[in-house]
Amino acid sequence: MCFTIYPQTKRLVPKVGRSTGKQFVKNGISLPDDGEVSTMHGRFDVVEGDLWYTDTNSTNGTLMRGEALSPRDAVRLAVGDTIVVGQTELKVLSVEPME
């Protein structure tokens, strides 16, 4: 399964979680079948062409390179990086500039 994350707008910030709400389905990642993912697990931000991820104080946390990320501390993601939310691995395949 592949997902495309677009830079946030004023009202639509790319999020990952168990929610099936419009914000997750339209411009985020909805993982309703992963019981270890919080309803609102984390968020993505694109700042000056770089992709950032922030765990939003989820119940089970987020792992990157086997280490737990600190809640609310943004980490820069690069092509090839993998984060683990619940039982789901999310790998960055590309980061492309918006036209």
Q: What is the pTM of this model?
A: 0.88
Q: What pLDDT is recorded for position 88? A: 94
Domain boundaries, the chain: 15-91
Sheet holding 88-91, edge to edge: 67-68, 62-64, 82-85, 88-91
pLDDT of 43-98, one tens digit each?
998 888 888 999 999 999 999 999 999 999 999 999 999 999 999 999 998 877 65
Closest C-alpha among 86, 82, 62, 85 to residue 74: 62
Q: What pLDDT is recorded for position 35? A: 96
User: Are 76 and 50 within 8 A, CB to CB?
Assistant: yes
Q: What pLDDT is recorded for position 27? A: 80
Q: What pLDDT is recorded for position 99? A: 58
Any idea which fold 15-91 has?
A: Tumour Suppressor Smad4 (2.60.200)
